[in-house]
Amino acid sequence: MEDNTRIGVYICHCGSNIAGTVDVKEVAEFAQGLPSVVVAKDYIYMCSDPGQSMIKEDIKELGLNRIVVASCSPTLHEHTFRRACQDAGLNPYLFEMVNIREHCSWVTEDHDAATEKAKALVNAAVRRVYYHEPLEIREVPVTPSVMVVGGGIAGIQAALEIANSGHKVYLVEREPSIGGHMAQFDKTFPTLDCASCIFTPLLSAVGQHPYIELLTYSEVEEVSGYVGNFKAKIRKKARYVDISKCTGCTDCANVCPVELPAEFELGMAQRKAIYRLFPQAVPSVFSIDKRGYPPCRVACPAGVNAQGYISLISQGKFKEAIEILRETMPFPGVCGRVCTHPCEVDCERGKVDEPVAIRSLKRFMADYELRVGREKTTPVEKTKEDRVAIIGAGPAGLACAYDLIREGYPVTVFGAAPQAGGLLRYGIPEYRMPKEVVDNEISYIEELGVEIKTNTPVKNLEDVFNQGYEAIFLGTGAGISQKMGIPGENASGVIHALDFLRQVNLRVKVELGERVAVIGGGNAAVDAARVAKRLGAKEVSIVYRRSRAEMPAVATEVDEAEQEGVGIHFLAVPVSVLSKDDKLTGIQCIRMELGEPDASGRRRPIPVKGSEFNMDIDNVIIAIGQTVDRAMLPKELEYTSWGTLSVDPVTLKTNIEGVFAGGDVVAGPADIIGAIAAGKEAAISIERYLEGVDLKEGRPTPVKQVKEVPKEGVEIKARSTMPVLELEKRKGFAEVELGFDEKMAIEEAKRCLNCGVCSECLECIKACEPQAINHEMEDEIIEVEVGSIIMATGYDTFDPSVITQYGYGRYDNVVTALQFERMCNASGPTEGEIVLKDGSEPKSVAIIHCVGSRDKNYFEYCSRVCCMYSLKYSHLIKEKTNAEVYQMYLDMRCFGEGYEEFYDRLSGEGVNFIRGKVSEVTDQAISNEEKGKLIVSCEDTLLDAIIRVPVDMVILSTALAPRSDAEDVARLFNISRRADGFFRERHVKLDPVATTTEGVFVVGCAQAPKDIPDTIAQASAAAARVLAMISWGKVEIEAAIAAIDEELCSGCRICNLLCPYNAISFDEEKEVSQINEAQCKGCGVCVAACPSSAIAGKHFTTEQIMAEIEGVLI
Amino acid sequence: MPVLAPLKEVADIIKEAGGEELKLCYQCGLCTGVCPWNTVRSFLVRRIMHQAQLGLVDFEDEDMWLCVTCRACVERCPRSVGILDVMKAMRRGITELGIAKVPDSLRITIKNISGTGNPLGEPPENRANWAKDLDIKEYTEGTEWLYFTGCMASYDPKLQRIPRAIVNLLKKAQVDFGILGNRETCSGESVRKAGDEQLFQTLAQTNIDTFTELGVKKIVTTSPHSYHTFKNEYPELDGNFEVIHYSRLLAELIKEGRLKPTKELNKKVTYHDPCYLGRHNGIYDEPREILHSLPGIELIEMPRSQENSLCCGGGGGGIWMETKKGERFADIRLEEAIETGAGTLAVACPFCMSMFEDSVLSLDKGDIIEIKDIAELIQEVI
């Protein structure tokens, strides 16, 4: 404690702001009586020159060594008084400020209470300041480069101003090109000069400026450091186009099959998945819009890129389409017929009306190829030496072989049957799967170089390895039928479905009686029943133990079967086979009822006692399931309790080294696409195995699925139905489903919503001469060091659809201001024509002001530009059409230079002004004049009447809203926002350019809605502030930081992790933590956390804080 | 609350009838604020302008006929809207298209003018009766001035003292002038304001033809209304003449010494600015110069004078229409004149004279104040 402490206390009146409520004289008298206080004075404006002089003189004359000022907020004037102390030779930290305005006079009208509180606060400050210590103000150098975030007019202006002074600017823009909203404008008010004419020269100046590094399609991800010394991590999003090679020729966009609403045109025009915002864009290069895998691709077990081939079908590029499918698997015709199509289940189109007929489109490609003929494929060059054996020539084995041969491995497929194809060939009847389809697809695989050995069953794997094969894939399927386990099952006339179908497919004659019963409800049962019918059986019935809803067979197949005359006995199960002389005569069945759902989710059938009944029949076909034929497999393999092969679920590795398995042999009887997927997965394992790479790492491959698929404006359109063979023609094995023709296919393909946007059809790669396209491109993170940051992130336009009464989104000709802006623009969707949705010219137009603005339900503030752009629109309407224009306004706010004159001019042009907030836009006519019109209704407050104005078009003058991600951005840059959502300036009047964070500035509409002239002025002002910092070369930083007492530090490092500014590191030699003074902001987190009390916050010592608390309390 | 829809066709009619400028109106309401009607009854000029903009005017409303064209509103309109032109255009719409009733008194007056060339329906041959004993020559080619007497001054016995005083003075000053006698016909000024554009065109053309035939170059008028239309409206029909109001001519004559006041009057006088002399044509000084030049006259200004002068209520056809007691501007103005302590209310317009004389009678103020034309006052001192 210093004996010679001499404190001066100064109470400010702040005009009447403080003195009107607080008795300042009384406070001064009170202060005069406090310990160590030498002098206490009050003055009308302490911050004024005479006020400051008073303090300075007292310091010198009375030898004061501590100062307390009780006035306004320290954010406003702490700096002022610290400077005054410094001028008088006193360390600025020997000063303490008390806020008796915001904390006393402005919060109560009670004079006594305000005065008492002011006294308490002054008392606290006097006690605190007693313990203040002189601190050293530190200076740090300023990095002479700047980051400007946002490439609209605000960012561009700021960037150019700074760059023109010869300092480096990083201009970061998240869109593919700069320009922001201004690039969308047509004319600019009030001079009506063309936005492009005044703006494009600036765009190109930025693009060519030697001191501006343009980082488009980029977003700031992380900001660290402090004023003068920021570090920013910027993500340069993958464009999938090499900027340095792209010439902007548009060849790629011309071939791109994917169209979607163009954001730049507010959905009034279409763009391609490969696009640029507008032809004059800077940089004038293309980008590919990839939003992730579409749900169909994700749902497909084999990962087939359905969107890719569908988008090409929609363009009539059928050959290219089938190539996309063959990128993944070789079975267009097979899967196009019998796939269980999980893709269609997840198809987003199904949420609008019905899923796209993906399977039928796939089949269409195969049909098309068969129709026009296919040229022989060139064999793949076998670049690898390790030979792979595939055992089993069904879909799993062939898919595995297909993938491996394309990787360059020599592959041999061993099949037990006379021909390859497995179940595809022998399990599915020809009316569903013509042999030529299977032949074509297997030939394709063979043409690639896969060797297929038929009639070659393999039982001994050792032999295979001995023949020189390095790896084996087992895909032998589940080839034997399950038995029913009931008496008489072995009677002659009882047939198993798989045997039955195999024989039929082998064209072996099968003798059937007149009456046939098929037991089971799966595809094999339905197939068997329909085949039996085709072989001439008179009465064919299916006996199924549950009801139709639980039938696992494809529903359309069941329907077709019924139409063909197959009867179905639901809820019945055979209990014994009746025979005479070991020859089948019939079956006894029992009725079932459905109980609780079982493990499969289907309701469990329970026999109904005493409900037995007999069926007289000649043949029973059993189709109740298939299982793996162990007799055909090597003995050393391990099995699951289900009787299938046991493999690693991810790698499909069996218990034998180098042997992998997949398909029905592992999964049991399942769908073909699952078998193909297993084959593909095994191919990956085999390749890894042969290359000596870890089998599991990174598997299953993570898939980035598209998040949201916009569906607004999608017109309802039913999916195309598959044409089928007429019933009377179904005698033989002619295919029942006939397939789509080209027209149907194109039409159906156009129903695809292109969920992933880019369909990865890769047509752009073929079209791009400079070879600029790279679909494998990845995001890049770069790091920049800058001294200051200018936020120019702009605004969003208010979405008026929430004001349902205005009909936006419901009525075609209700448009937003920005949409109308694009409509007026000669390079916009209508080439500058003002037209209705039907292309005709409007005869009358209403412009509704303040849509979302000046409305506590949405945004309370005035958006400041709407009156003026509304006037501009009126002029453009008058100029381009003969339409009558009505403006429904609340107040006309035309405050800028030349603005009122513009209003006057527009009045002279005959625009009708109606004062009143529009209550409704409706198409409900109450008179003939209103029929077919949009009626805009409001109270005309100048007429004392409700006015209904029938018009053809309504323009909504929508509010300028804060960016939807403003909160995240504020957090990223450590700046604050106002209640209205925009970024907060340091002082609304005195410092509308700086933010609350030193070194970060805000310009343009990111700070508040404003017009172009104000934006330019603010951007230039921010540039001036930044340049001043650079020019001075150094900045003062806070001295009130934390300090570590090395004696007390235990080296626990808790503080290291907690510091939000990464200012604390650990000294390995001394084994203590150290604070980087330049980075410390004095937040105090470490002080509170330190278990050894080794850290003290300078200017916030325990002594100081305790004294202050005592002062308030006593 | 009524439910309305804009009627573009109606708005177009008003615009085409001369109300084009109404589109400039931005509804500030200053017109309503300054309109003298609102001191005696409601007359929402601003709302009528807005109704006109949207074609939603109630043509049946008596408000259509209230405006006395005093120009107080136009004088101050921040957007310089020709409000009177709009009022005129609406009346024209009613008159020409018959979309509503014209008030009886106005209809009869217009019928009179159409038939006899004067609002009172008097025989045209009696037009110059006022001058019978004054030995005034008929205008012939080469005469310097045509003195255009005007209908009210010619026919109304109460007002004939004005032209008589004027010609006496002109004669005294040896001015070379003549009158048209029976060939004079209504100038049409108020007819036009009352909405009968066709009749105005006929009257104006007749006068222009007569003037041209007689080789008239310079015209001096009794009425500021004739003066206004000759000066500002006849040129639309290629009638270009040098026109002067008598007050200006007499002021010049006094200045030139051709009229010499000799007697002393010893009167307290206040002067009422006629709308068509003052606000319509900016003549405020000459009548005052005259009054100042008359010996013994003390000129006391009323609080509302010059551009703020209160209309007598006679313009725009008002002189021909009945106004309810309590709503008469002339009564209010007379009281204002009396307030000044003046015993004489000097006027320079026969319409004002007529209106004030009526007020003096109806308010029974004859013993407190007299109404004098400034020509009469000059005559008294010569």
A565 and A678 fall within a common domain: no
Domain assignment of residue A770, yes or no: no
- By C-alpha distance, the chain B residue nearest A943 is B47
Does A941 contact B at CB distance below 8 Å?
no
Confidence at residue A886, expressed as pLDDT on a 0 to 100 scale: 97
Packed helices A435-447 and A395-406: angle between N→C axes, nearest 10 degrees: 30
Chain A residues with beta carbon closer than 8 angstroms to that of B3:
945-948
Q: How close does chain A come to B191, measured CA to CA in Å?
A: 29
Domain assignment of residue B117, yes or no: no
B243 and B278 fall within a common domain: no
Chain A residues with beta carbon closer than 8 angstroms to that of B8:
884
Confidence at residue A138, expressed as pLDDT on a 0 to 100 scale: 84
Confidence at residue A669, expressed as pLDDT on a 0 to 100 scale: 82
Domain assignment of residue A255, yes or no: no
**Contact between A949 and B5 using a beta-carbon 8 Å cutoff:** yes
Q: How close does chain A come to B56, measured CA to CA in Å?
A: 9
Domain assignment of residue A703, yes or no: no
- By C-alpha distance, the chain A residue nearest B53 is A912
Type and span of the H or E element at A593: strand A583-597
Domain assignment of residue A601, yes or no: yes
B376 and B266 fall within a common domain: yes
Distance, in Å, from the CA atom of A332 to the CA atom of A321, rounded to the nearest integer, reads 10
Residue-wise pLDDT for A794-845, tens only, equals 999 999 999 999 999 999 999 999 999 999 999 999 999 999 999 999 999 9
In terms of DSSP bridges, do strands A145-149 and A95-99 run parallel, antiparallel, or are they unpaired? unpaired
**Residue in A884, A903, A946 nearest the CB of B2:** A946
A with B: how many residue pairs have Cβ under 8 Å apart?
A: 63
Whether A6 shows a pLDDT value over 60: the answer reads yes
B211 and B231 fall within a common domain: yes
Residue-wise pLDDT for A664-707, tens only, equals 999 888 889 999 999 999 999 999 999 999 999 989 888 889 99
Residue ending a domain, choose from A625, A648, A682: A625
**Contact between A948 and B25 using a beta-carbon 8 Å cutoff:** no
Q: In total, how many domains does chain B have?
A: 3
- By C-alpha distance, the chain B residue nearest A936 is B5
Burial A446-467 (b: 16+ CB within 10 A, else e): bebbbebeeeeebeebeebbee
Strand partners, A627: A480
Does A913 contact B at CB distance below 8 Å?
yes
B53 and B142 fall within a common domain: no
Does A908 contact B at CB distance below 8 Å?
yes
Q: Decide: A313 and A745 in contact? Cβ < 8 Å.
A: yes
Residue B328 backbone dihedrals phi, psi, to 5 degrees? -85, 120
Phi-psi region of A246 (alpha: psi -120 to 50; beta: other; left: phi over 0): beta
A33 and A175 fall within a common domain: no
pLDDT band for position A1 (cuts 50, 70, 90) = very low
Distance, in Å, from the CA atom of A983 to the CA atom of A220, rounded to the nearest integer, reads 17
Type and span of the H or E element at A504: helix A497-505
**Residue in A892, A907, A939 nearest the CB of B23:** A907
Q: How close does chain B come to A223, measured CA to CA in Å?
A: 52
Residue A250's nearest CA partner among A287, A291, A201, A289 is: A287
DSSP A935: E
Does A946 contact B at CB distance below 8 Å?
yes
Distances from the Cα of A88 to the Cα of A57, A133, A498, A515, A796, angstroms? 8, 17, 104, 117, 50
Residue A827's nearest CA partner among A180, A178, A186, A152 is: A186
Q: How close does chain A come to B121, measured CA to CA in Å?
A: 41
Q: How close does chain B come to A870, measured CA to CA in Å?
A: 16
Does A964 contact B at CB distance below 8 Å?
no
Q: Is the dihedral of CA B123, B127, B130, B133 positive or negative?
A: negative
Residue-wise pLDDT for A192-232, tens only, equals 999 989 999 999 999 999 999 999 999 999 998 889 999 99
**Contact between A943 and B47 using a beta-carbon 8 Å cutoff:** yes
Domain assignment of residue B198, yes or no: yes
A1027 and A1056 fall within a common domain: no
Structure tokens at B131: 């001058």
Cα A655 to its chain centre, rounded Å, is 42
Domain assignment of residue B105, yes or no: no
Strand partners, A949: A936
A190 and A202 fall within a common domain: yes
Q: How close does chain B come to A48, measured CA to CA in Å?
A: 43
Residue-wise pLDDT for A1010-1019, tens only, equals 999 999 999 9
- By C-alpha distance, the chain B residue nearest A891 is B26
Residue ending a domain, choose from A107, A137, A167: A137
Residue A115's nearest CA partner among A22, A31, A41, A40 is: A22
At A551 the three-state DSSP class reads coil
Does A911 contact B at CB distance below 8 Å?
yes
Chain B residues with beta carbon closer than 8 angstroms to that of A904:
24, 79
B132 and B239 fall within a common domain: yes
In this structure, the number of other CB atoms found within 10 A of the CB of residue A616 comes to: 11
Distances from the Cα of A136 to the Cα of A92, A133, A1040, A1077, A1099, angstroms? 9, 10, 9, 12, 11
Domain that holds residue A122: 7-137
A498 and A611 fall within a common domain: yes
A129 and A66 fall within a common domain: yes
The CATH code of the domain that includes A54 is 3.40.50
Residue A244's nearest CA partner among A193, A285, A294, A201 is: A285
Mutate to test the interface with A, among B14, B21, B25, B50 (most CBs of A within 10 A): B50
B234 and B274 fall within a common domain: no
Q: How close does chain B come to A876, measured CA to CA in Å?
A: 18
In this structure, the number of other CB atoms found within 10 A of the CB of residue B41 comes to: 11
A664 and A584 fall within a common domain: no
In terms of DSSP bridges, do strands A572-580 and A583-597 run parallel, antiparallel, or are they unpaired? antiparallel
Chain B residues with beta carbon closer than 8 angstroms to that of A910:
23
Long-range contacts of A639-645 (CB under 8 A, 24+ apart): A642/A668, A643/A668, A644/A478, A644/A668, A645/A474
**Contact between A947 and B50 using a beta-carbon 8 Å cutoff:** no
Chain A residues with beta carbon closer than 8 angstroms to that of B50:
940, 942-943
**Contact between B1 and A927 using a beta-carbon 8 Å cutoff:** no
Domain assignment of residue B367, yes or no: yes
Residue B198's nearest CA partner among B90, B100, B98, B114 is: B114
**Contact between B6 and A946 using a beta-carbon 8 Å cutoff:** no
Chain B residues with beta carbon closer than 8 angstroms to that of A907:
23-26, 79
Domain assignment of residue A1113, yes or no: no
Chain A residues with beta carbon closer than 8 angstroms to that of B79:
904, 907
Type and span of the H or E element at A27: helix A24-32
A1030 and A993 fall within a common domain: yes
Does A116 contact B at CB distance below 8 Å?
no
Distance, in Å, from the CA atom of B313 to the CA atom of B94, rounded to the nearest integer, reads 22
A524 and A619 fall within a common domain: yes
Structure tokens at A173: 């823009």
Does A1105 contact B at CB distance below 8 Å?
no
pLDDT band for position B31 (cuts 50, 70, 90) = very high
Whether A557 shows a pLDDT value over 90: the answer reads no
Structure tokens at B247: 């007050």
**Contact between A940 and B50 using a beta-carbon 8 Å cutoff:** yes
Domain assignment of residue B350, yes or no: yes
Q: How many CA atoms lie within 13 A of B196 on its CB side?
A: 21
- By C-alpha distance, the chain A residue nearest B79 is A904
Mutate to test the interface with A, among B1, B21, B53 (most CBs of A within 10 A): B53
Cα A937 to its chain centre, rounded Å, is 39
Chain A residues with beta carbon closer than 8 angstroms to that of B2:
945-946
Does A936 contact B at CB distance below 8 Å?
no
Express as a percent the part of chain A with pLDDT over 90.
82
Residue-wise pLDDT for A117-131, tens only, equals 999 999 999 999 999
DSSP, residue by residue, A248-304: ---HHHHH---EEE-GGGTTSSEEESEE-SSTT-BS---EE-B--B-HHHHH-TT--
Domain assignment of residue A783, yes or no: no
The CATH code of the domain that includes B128 is 3.40.50
Q: Say if residue A574 is preceded by a cis peptide, omega within 30 of 0.
A: no
Residue ending a domain, choose from B251, B280, B308: B251
Whether A2 shows a pLDDT value over 60: the answer reads no
Residue-wise pLDDT for A394-424, tens only, equals 999 999 999 999 999 999 999 999 999 998 9
**Contact between A884 and B8 using a beta-carbon 8 Å cutoff:** yes
Confidence at residue A359, expressed as pLDDT on a 0 to 100 scale: 95
Distance, in Å, from the CA atom of A771 to the CA atom of A785, rounded to the nearest integer, reads 33
Find the mean pLDDT for residues B158-162.
96
Domain assignment of residue B355, yes or no: yes
In this structure, the number of other CB atoms found within 10 A of the CB of residue A598 comes to: 10
Domain assignment of residue A886, yes or no: yes
A848 and A944 fall within a common domain: yes
**Contact between B3 and A946 using a beta-carbon 8 Å cutoff:** yes
What average pLDDT is seen over chain B?
A: 95
Q: Decide: A687 and A473 in contact? Cβ < 8 Å.
A: no
B22 and B46 fall within a common domain: yes
| Max Cα–Cα distance, chain A, nearest Å | 134
Does A942 contact B at CB distance below 8 Å?
yes
DSSP, residue by residue, A862-891: --SSHHHHHHHHHHHHHHH---EEEEEES-
Q: Decide: A126 and A1111 in contact? Cβ < 8 Å.
A: yes
A130 and A214 fall within a common domain: no
In terms of DSSP bridges, do strands A515-519 and A619-622 run parallel, antiparallel, or are they unpaired? parallel
**Residue in A892, A907, A945 nearest the CB of B1:** A945
Q: In total, how many domains does chain A have?
A: 7
Q: Say if residue B303 is preceded by a cis peptide, omega within 30 of 0.
A: no
**Contact between B23 and A911 using a beta-carbon 8 Å cutoff:** yes
- What HEC string does chain B produce? CCEECCCHHHHHHHHHHHHHHHHHCCCCCHHHHHCHHHHCCCCCHHHHHHHHHHCCCCCCCHHHHCCCCCCHHHHHCCCCCCHHHHHHHHHHHHHHHCCCCCCHHHHHHHHHHHHHCCCCCCCHHHCCHHHHHHCCCECCCCCCEEEECCHHHHHCCCCCHHHHHHHHHHHHCCCCEEECHHHCCCCCHHHHHCCCHHHHHHHHHHHHHHHHHHCCCEEEECCHHHHHHHHHHHHHHCCCCEEEEHHHHHHHHHHCCCCCCCCCCCEEEEECCCCCCCCCCCCCHHHHHHHHHCCCEEECCCCCCHHHCCCCCCHHHHHHCCCCCCCCHHHHHHHHHHHCCCCEEEECCHHHHHHHHHHHHHHCCCCCCEEEEHHHHHHHHC
DSSP A1113: H
Find the mean pLDDT for residues A997-1016.
97
Domain that holds residue B196: 124-251
B246 and B265 fall within a common domain: no
Q: Is B109 exposed, middle or buried (0-12, 13-18, 19+ CB in 10 A)?
A: buried
Chain B residues with beta carbon closer than 8 angstroms to that of A943:
4, 47, 50-51, 54, 56
A579 and A665 fall within a common domain: no
Packed helices A1012-1032 and A153-163: angle between N→C axes, nearest 10 degrees: 30
B133 and B242 fall within a common domain: yes
Structure tokens at A525: 């049962």
Distances from the Cα of A1096 to the Cα of A130, A263, A1036, A1090, A1102, angstroms? 18, 54, 21, 9, 8
Domain assignment of residue B104, yes or no: no
Domain assignment of residue A248, yes or no: no
Q: How close does chain B come to A948, measured CA to CA in Å?
A: 5
At A439 the three-state DSSP class reads helix
Structure tokens at A394: 């069904």
B170 and B217 fall within a common domain: yes
Residue-wise pLDDT for A743-756, tens only, equals 999 999 999 999 99
Does A907 contact B at CB distance below 8 Å?
yes
Residue-wise pLDDT for A464-519, tens only, equals 999 999 999 999 988 888 888 888 888 888 999 988 998 888 888 888 889 999 99
Residue type, B304: R
Whether A182 shows a pLDDT value over 90: the answer reads yes
Domain assignment of residue B103, yes or no: no
Does A354 contact B at CB distance below 8 Å?
no
**Residue in B6, B24, B51 nearest the CB of A949:** B6
Chain B residues with beta carbon closer than 8 angstroms to that of A913:
26-27, 53
**Contact between B23 and A942 using a beta-carbon 8 Å cutoff:** no
